[in-house]
């Protein structure tokens, strides 16, 4: 298995594109069928202008014609959305790959996670006492050499310097580029997590530009719940996303 197989599992850009192109083709066929029905209704109405028909029947035919036109407009909008998404997915896929291999880290990494082993306990305490909660804040220390006075401080400093060079374990690299997994942040929102999984949203970074309004229309979520999801998402980005990202 390649390094990127797990990260892009079930999110293959090619597979998604093929699926969406098939869906676009089906929608176009449906629009063509609807257009034929519209022309048929228009012709019938035209031919019946000089005949005597009950007003109710004329009203029904005009209503059917209007409904068919509105349905076609919605289908055409859906095609446009799919085309935009198709293009965005390709760009997004390439951006994620570039971030991972080029050390374009986007998210803050807590010192509790970076220095999680027991041997770094004194290092963690030292950093917390200096209000250093994220590894990216270590540059604000007056002198990193102060770490050398702490037990295993030399190992901690070496680990930090390796991070700056891009030498970092794969799981931490994914976190730095993609953030937490959504199930951790929305852990008590089972229905929402199921919805996100269905739409191949695995990491918090996938929530960028997420269309929350669609949750009400397409997902059947109450407005109050959607507002709560928005707050959770914004709070996460405000706390963990690095500035200028």
* pLDDT, tens only, 112-129: 999 999 999 999 999 999
Same domain assignment for residues 145 and 183: no
pLDDT of residue 58: 64
| Model-wide pTM > 0.85 | no
Q: Which of 146, 117, 31 is nearest to 82 (CA)?
A: 31
Mean pLDDT across 197-225? 88
Length of the chain: 245
Structure tokens, 126:
């030292």
Provide the domain count of the chain: 3
Rounded to a whole number of angstroms, the distance between the first and last alpha carbons of the chain is: 31
Same domain assignment for residues 147 and 191: no
Same domain assignment for residues 212 and 188: yes
Q: What distance lies between CA 88 and its chain's CA centroid?
A: 11
Last residue of a domain, one of 174, 196, 214: 174
Last residue of a domain, one of 157, 174, 191: 174
Same domain assignment for residues 169 and 188: no
Distance CA 65, CA 68 (A): 5
pLDDT of residue 20: 56
4 domain residue, yes or no: no
Q: Which of 206, 237, 239 is nearest to 99 (CA)?
A: 206
pLDDT of residue 142: 73
> By residue range, what is the domain housing residue 192?
179-240
Report the greatest alpha carbon distance in the chain.
100
Same domain assignment for residues 135 and 90: no
Distance CA 146, CA 109 (A): 21
Distance CA 120, CA 10 (A): 37
Q: How confident is residue 111, by pLDDT bands cut at 50, 70 and 90? A: very high
82 domain residue, yes or no: yes
3 domain residue, yes or no: no
């Amino acid at each position: 298995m390649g390094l990127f197989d797990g990260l892009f599992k079930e999110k293959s850009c090619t597979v998604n594109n093929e699926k969406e192109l098939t869906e676009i083709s089906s929608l176009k066929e449906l629009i063509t069928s609807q257009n034929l029905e519209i022309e048929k209704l228009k012709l019938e109405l035209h031919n019946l202008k000089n005949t005597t028909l009950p007003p109710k029947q004329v009203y029904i035919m005009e209503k059917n014609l209007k409904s068919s036109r509105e349905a076609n407009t919605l289908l055409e909008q859906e095609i446009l959305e799919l085309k935009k998404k198709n293009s965005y997915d390709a760009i997004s896929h390439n951006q994620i790959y570039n971030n991972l291999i080029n050390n374009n880290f986007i998210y803050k990494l807590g010192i509790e996670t970076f220095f999680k082993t027991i041997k770094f306990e004194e290092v963690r305490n030292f950093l917390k006492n200096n209000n250093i909660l994220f590894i990216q804040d270590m540059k604000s220390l007056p002198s990193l050499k102060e770490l050398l006075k702490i037990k295993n401080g030399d190992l901690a400093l070496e680990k930090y310097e390796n991070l700056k060079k891009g030498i970092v374990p794969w799981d931490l690299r994914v976190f730095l580029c993609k953030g937490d997994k959504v199930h951790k942040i929305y852990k008590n929102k089972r229905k929402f997590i199921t919805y996100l999984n269905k739409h191949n949203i695995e990491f918090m970074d996938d929530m960028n530009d997420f269309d929350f309004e669609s949750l009400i229309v397409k997902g059947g979520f109450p407005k109050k719940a959607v507002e709560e999801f928005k707050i959770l998402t914004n709070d996460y980005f405000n706390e963990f996303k690095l500035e200028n990202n």
